[in-house]
Structure formats: structure tokens, C-alpha cells
Amino acid sequence: MDWREMASCRDADPDLFFPIGNSNSGPSLIQTYQAKAVCCRCPVMEQCLNWAIRADPVEGIWGGTTESERRAMRRRLARQSRAAVETPA
């Protein structure tokens, strides 16, 4: 079974997951919180987040994260990978 078939957002308002405008204030911020609340109850949050990190850039809320949060995660993962390669055994 594809993880998407178990997604909690299948029954939620899709607009919540694609807030328009500045996600740091106003209605967009409220939508972001509401979408993240759905994600927190989702049984496939981990699979969704892994997909979104690999697929970036993708817009919207995926795996309980915003696009900018995933960008930061990808940078952190890249730094950790570089450090692991550069660290002598």
C-alpha cells in the first residue's frame, strides 16, 4: 500500500496545506498551524517528510514542515554528510 493512501490530509481542507502569503503572520500562519496539527496526527508523517526532503523544492506543508523548514533540514543534512566524509577515521 502506498503511504499516501493513509495520509490524514486526505480528509482535510487542501488549502490549509498551501497557505498563501507570508507564513510568519496573519491567516497564513494560522493555516500553517492547522495543517501541522493534522500532520502531527498522521500515521505516515515520517514517510511524508522523507519524501518531501528528497523531492524539494515542493511547496506547502508536508510531513509537518514548511518549505523553508525543509530547506534548513536539507542544509543541515548536507553539512553533516560533508563533516562525516571529511572526518578522518
Instruction: Write out the residues near ligand SF4 by the rule CB under 6 A.
Output: 7-9, 17, 38-39, 42, 44-45, 48, 61-64
Minimum distance from CB of 32 to ligand SF4 (Å)?
12
Q: 3 or 25: whose CB is closer to ligand SF4?
A: 3
Q: 46 or 80: whose CB is closer to ligand SF4?
A: 46
DSSP readout, 9-61? GGGS-GGGGS--S-TTSHHHHHHHHHHHHHHHT-TTHHHHHHHHHHH-S--S-
Minimum distance from CB of 67 to ligand SF4 (Å)?
12
Q: 58 or 82: whose CB is closer to ligand SF4?
A: 58
Between CA 45 and CA 49 the distance in angstroms is: 6
